[in-house]
A and B are shown apart, each in its own frame.
Chain A
Amino acid sequence: MKNLILGACLCMGTLAFSQDNGYFFGGLESNSQWLMPDEKIGFDTPEDRFRANNYLQLNYSLGKFTAGVQYESYLPAALLGYSPTWDGENGIGTYYLNFKNESLDITGGYFYEQFGSGLILRTWEDRQLGINNALKGLRVKFTPTENLGLTGVYGQIRNGFDVSEGVMQGLDANANLSGLLDIEIVELKLGASYVGRYQSNGANDSIPANINSFGGRLDFVANNFYGGIEAITKDPDVIVNEGEVESAQHFDGTALQVNLGYAQKGLGINSTFRRLENFSFYADRYAEGNLYNEQIVNYVPALTKQHDYLLSNIYVYNAQPRLLFSDTEQRAGEVGAQVDVYYSFDRESTLGKVGTKLAGNFSYWAGLESTFNFEEQTYDPKFIGKGPRYFRDLNIEVKNRWSSKWSTIATFQDVIIDKGVTEGGPLGIQGDIRAQIAVIEGTRKFEGGKALRMELQHLWVDKSRKNVDRKNWMAGVLEYNFNSAFTLYAADAWNYEGEGEIHYYSFGGSYTKGPARFAVNYGRQRGGLICVGGVCRFVPENTGVTANLVVTF
């Protein structure tokens, strides 16, 4: 298969010289680090002090065909905190050949696909998180009319330079009801999905070989209102923790997500409710709950605001969809909601004259309240209930543009997080941590594309609680843009009340030229969760130099 596609690629490459209507596209990304011992934070460098992740992607498109390969190397070792699966490896990571015309879209090889919101199936690549769960196999998309779409997939999930033991199959159908039925007052879309996994159970009849999941969704847009509902069920399966089957019982899983929003010029509101019960899905039953999100089949992001400041990124939530049934911990899933509001003052009003824009977000996530019966190995969950609070965040951001030269952003956040979520260990029984974070950011523009940006931040921990974690922090960032291509920055997050009063400093710069960007920085990395798109990975504390190069063509 691989040789066939590479062959086809070469073939098309040769064709390119005879015909002039094909084109190449792709990119190179190189991320490397040089680690340095740092006594202050107790960091001993690992054996491989130089580490690098490199990705080279090449595609060629000719008429209705497109083909591509991605070469990856993790030499001599993958960046710190990535799955050891990658260490010292290199080779062709993904390749594909695609044919596409008006109604058919066929892909062989590795591909990225998403059904609905991804809650039932999503394969994607995130290089910062070290996730690439592309499906390797065949995908056919059929669009007979603009109001109907059908997608079928078959294959195995990528796992390092190998693929999963489990074989996945899926079918997704989408219909635009308004288009089909000529409804004008409301835009209605209906979707249905099926995803199944086959994994041999050896001769063990107590483990199901086939696990099927089914989902349906309905989305609407009516004037300024919009919304949707999605519900999924998954066949009873064994529950696995750290590679071991935990119970003789099988448990089914469900997911329900409801979204409702309103948008008009100057005002936008969005709200989401989600309930997950025993809803984790992996291409290998024994991979459930692994630290690196390997072989994951669906996308279960934390539905909270993704913060972007040094101190507001200390206490971050990670979705908790799992069922656990052990002596030390019992939990059945998560339930919660979030609301976002965006508002701009009218340009003619007093606040509007200084360009005031507001953004607020509230989120609350709790464990599913359930009673567990050990003797019979069953549990009884409430629909919402009063489960232990895992996370609560209330934040507001005020943006102002005082003149063509000055602009500011002020944010305030009040966050409560369960200790188990942020530090590990069982959830809901170790108490929680509450913190308030204030950030002021100012930007001053100068002539000729020069600009100066400053951030001041402070984090207060509520000391009346049992857990005070590392107590208070303060932080500052100074960034200077010499022009749109060249930037230097210095940043420091100082844990002035914590043990050792550690400074997490960093200095660096970036240079952009057309399709190329190079960045380098030196500093101390605070250990903890690195989250991209609501999916997180744990990074150990370290000190060193990192360099990133991206070239696209």
Chain B
Amino acid sequence: MKKILPLLLAFVTFSVLAQNDLPKVDMTTLDGAPINSNDLSTDDNVIVISLWATWCVPCIKELDAISEIYPDWQAETNVKLYAVSIDDSRGVNRVKPLVNGKGWDYTILLDTNNDFKRALGAATVPLTLLVKNNQIVHRHSGYSPGAELELYEKIKQFSAAN
């Protein structure tokens, strides 16, 4: 217990200090080209970063649901969705055929060594972030049917706040 107390104190202090900067982590694109998480959101545009995996049923439900209305979202707000697969080598080869088979129009990124997932402290997927100018402005974990509509309300809210 003696050991836990100072750590708890530190935790409280840090959470007060914590800013919502998007951690700077290298990932790769589907073609294997390196890309940094901080190169995704620029020019005051809101982007969605969704952490998912081929084995995660709610993740796929969420991305399927958004896929139905994604063209409308883009037309209205210019929002872009980055679907970051946290699949390790067991599933990473399934990412490309799955994304194509589903006909998703998202930009797919790979976080095979889970560096980005760890930096975000994401214990579970799906984890959905709204990011603007490398600041995390909204964060939601888990997926329930219909949550994509709520997400869109947030996108509109932050897109308008220029």
Contacts and interface: CB of A to CB of B under 8 A. Distances in A.
* B partners with A: yes
Kindly list the 8 A-B residue pairs having the minimum CB-CB distance in the complex, ordered from nearest: A342-B101, A268-B97, A27-B121, A481-B144, A484-B147, A552-B121, A268-B101, A117-B89
A241 to B, nearest CB: 26
B142 A517 contact: yes
Given A344-B103, A517-B142, A25 B24 contact: no
Contacts of B144: 449, 451, 481, 483-484, 487
Contacts of B121: 25-27, 57, 552-553
Interface stretch (A257-265, A279-287, A375-383): A257-265
B128 to A, nearest CB: 10
Contact of A90 (B4, B14, B23): B4
B97 A262 contact: yes
Interface of A: 16, 23-29, 56-59, 61, 71, 73, 90-91, 112-114, 116-119, 122, 124-125, 127, 146, 176, 187, 189, 219, 221, 226, 259, 261-270, 272, 299, 301-303, 305-306, 308, 340-344, 355, 357, 359, 399, 401, 407, 443, 445-446, 449-451, 453, 481, 483-484, 487, 510, 512, 514-515, 517, 533-534, 550-553
**Interface SS of chain B:** mixed
B145 A453 contact: yes
20 contacts: A23-B18, A25-B120, A56-B7, A58-B10, A61-B21, A90-B3, A118-B88, A118-B89, A124-B114, A263-B96, A341-B97, A342-B102, A399-B64, A451-B146, A483-B150, A487-B144, A510-B142, A514-B140, A533-B91, A553-B121
A29 B146 contact: no
Contacts, number: 199
A401 B118 CA distance: 34
A267 B141 contact: no
B157 interface: no
Given A25-B120, A124-B88, A533-B55, 17 more contacts: A23-B21, A25-B21, A26-B18, A27-B123, A56-B11, A71-B7, A73-B4, A112-B115, A114-B88, A268-B100, A270-B97, A355-B68, A453-B145, A481-B144, A484-B144, A553-B14, A553-B15
B90 A449 contact: no
Contact of B97 (A261, A301, A481): A261
B76 interface: no
A24 B17 contact: yes
A303 B90 CA distance: 6
Interface of B: 3-4, 7, 10-11, 14-15, 17-19, 21, 23-24, 31-32, 34, 55-57, 64, 68, 88-94, 96-103, 112-115, 118-124, 138-142, 144-147, 149-150
A142 B46 CA distance: 33
B115 to A, nearest CB: 7
A340 B55 CA distance: 13
A29 B141 CA distance: 14
Contacts of B141: 512, 515, 517, 550
A24 B124 contact: no
A306 B55 contact: yes
Nearest to B105: A265
A299 B144 CA distance: 32
B17 A265 contact: no
Nearest to A105: B26
B14 to A, nearest CB: 5
Contact of B11 (A28, A125, A451): A28
Contacts of B31: 187, 221
A127 B55 contact: no
Contact of A343 (B56, B101, B140): B101
